[in-house]
Amino acid sequence: MSYMDEFRFWLEDDYFDQDTKNELLAIRNNKSEVEDRFYRELEFGTGGLRGVIGAGTNRMNIYTVRKATQGLANYILKQGTQEKGVAIAYDSRRMSPEFADEAGLCLAANGIRAYVFDSLRPTPELSFALRMLGCTAGIVITASHNPPEYNGYKVYWEDGAQITAPRDKQIIGEVQAIKDYHSVKTMDKEEAVFAGLYRGIGREIDNAYMAELKKQIIHPDIIKEMAEDIKIVYTPLCGTGNLPVRRVLSELGFKHVYVVPEQENPDPYFTTLDYPNPEDPKAFTYALRLAKEKDADIVLATDPDADRLGVYCKDAKTGEYVSFTGNMSGMLIAEYILRERTATGTMPENPALVTTIVTTNMTAPISRFYDVKLIEVLTGFKYIGEQIKFFEQSGSNNYVFGLEESYGCLAGTHSRDKDACVAVMCLCEVAAYCKKHNMTLWDMMLSLYEKYGFYKESQYTITLKGIDGSRQIAEIMDRLRQNPPKSFGDWKVLRFRDYQADRIVDMESGEETATGLPKSNVLYFELPDDGWCCARPSGTEPKIKFYMGVRGNSLDDAQQRLTQLTEELKSVL
Catalytic residue list: 144
Q: How far apart are CA 56 and CA 79, in angstroms?
A: 31
Query: Helices 31-38 & 3-12, crossing angle to 10 degrees?
Result: 90
Q: What is the DSSP letter of 194?
A: H
Residue 452 — left, alpha, or beta (φ > 0 → left; ψ -120 to 50 → alpha)?
A: alpha
| Cα–Cα distance, 295 to 290 (Å, whole number) | 8
CB atoms within 10 A of CB 81: 17
Task: Report the alpha-carbon distance of residue 142 to residue 30 in Å, rounded.
Answer: 29
- CA of 451: how far to CAs of 106, 362, 445, 446, 466, in Å? 55, 10, 10, 9, 46
What are the distances in angstroms from CA 336 to CA 333, 343, 348, 390? 5, 10, 15, 25
- Measured CA to CA, the distance from residue 185 to residue 566 in angstroms comes to 50
Residue type at position 213: L
Q: Return the sign of the alpha-carbon dihedral for residues 323, 332, 218, 353.
A: positive
Alpha-carbon distance of 244 to 280, in angstroms, equals 23
Distance of CA 201 to the CA centre of its chain: 24
Nearest to 125 by CA among 190, 233, 206: 206
Q: Which has the closest alpha carbon to 154: 146, 145, 163? A: 163
